[in-house]
Amino acid sequence: MSVLAAVPVKRFFVAKRRLSPILDRPTRSRLGRQLAAHTLATIAGAGLEVVVLAADIAVARWASGQGFASRLDSAGGLDAAAGALVERAIARSRPWLVIHADLPLLTSDDVTAAVSILEDGHAPLAPTDDGGTSLIGGWGGFDFAYGPASFHRHLRRATDPRPLVRLGLALDLDDPGDYLAARHHPRGQWLDRYPARA
């Protein structure tokens, strides 16, 4: 099954502001790039076609340098950008996934678990530990509603949803607590190259 996977990537120069108490701005920018690269490589490693939903031209150029196609956000916001990618998948009669870029513990098994749900004809939906949505998938159109506590909004809007609760999809790197939890997990040891301030 040929799944089209979209990964929204924010502007690197404003990446991870909520980590400012423990990481300086240049470090946060480098971390944002590495997080996105980790997520993209993991998804591609699971055999999916990946398209970056780029927040600006700098992100689009970075994605190209990483070997990934991109679609520039036309200032309509994440909901509109994800919706446009879904329409592209529908036009090609393909199932789709939208997976967020800030998942430091993501594995290929997490991705293939979502694909398995798609293969069974259902819609995978993964919650983050703060009630957001790290992954959504489907076969047809979808009315996205990202933002705080988006998981339950998406759950109500999905056709035949199947919640997918996995550590690699639940821990998104937003605040210092997330950073410390990820860094102390065996799969998050790569974060050691971004030491926190005391």
Spell out where 18-85 has E strands: 49-54, 69-72
Phi, psi angles (nearest 5°) of residue 163: -60, 140
What pTM was estimated for this model as a whole? 0.94
How many structural domains compose the chain? 1
Question: How high is the pLDDT of residue 16?
Answer: 81
Residue 148 lies in a domain: yes
Question: How high is the pLDDT of residue 198?
Answer: 60
Largest CA distance in the chain: 51
Question: How high is the pLDDT of residue 75?
Answer: 65
Residue 198 lies in a domain: no
State which residues form the domain around 183: 4-190
Residue 182 near residue 167, CB atoms below 8 Å:
no
Segment 114-117 long-range contacts (CB within 8 Å, at least 24 positions apart): 114/164, 115/1, 115/3, 115/46, 115/48, 117/162, 117/164
CATH number at residue 101: 3.90.550.10
- 3-class secondary-structure state, position 4: strand
Residue 196 lies in a domain: no
10-residue mean pLDDT series, the chain (198 residues) = 91 81 89 94 96 93 95 81 91 95 97 97 96 96 94 95 97 93 94 83
User: CA 170, CA 104: separation in Å to the nearest integer?
Assistant: 10
Residue 74 near residue 81, CB atoms below 8 Å:
yes
Structure token digits, residue 148:
């705080």
Residue 197 lies in a domain: no
Question: How high is the pLDDT of residue 12?
Answer: 83
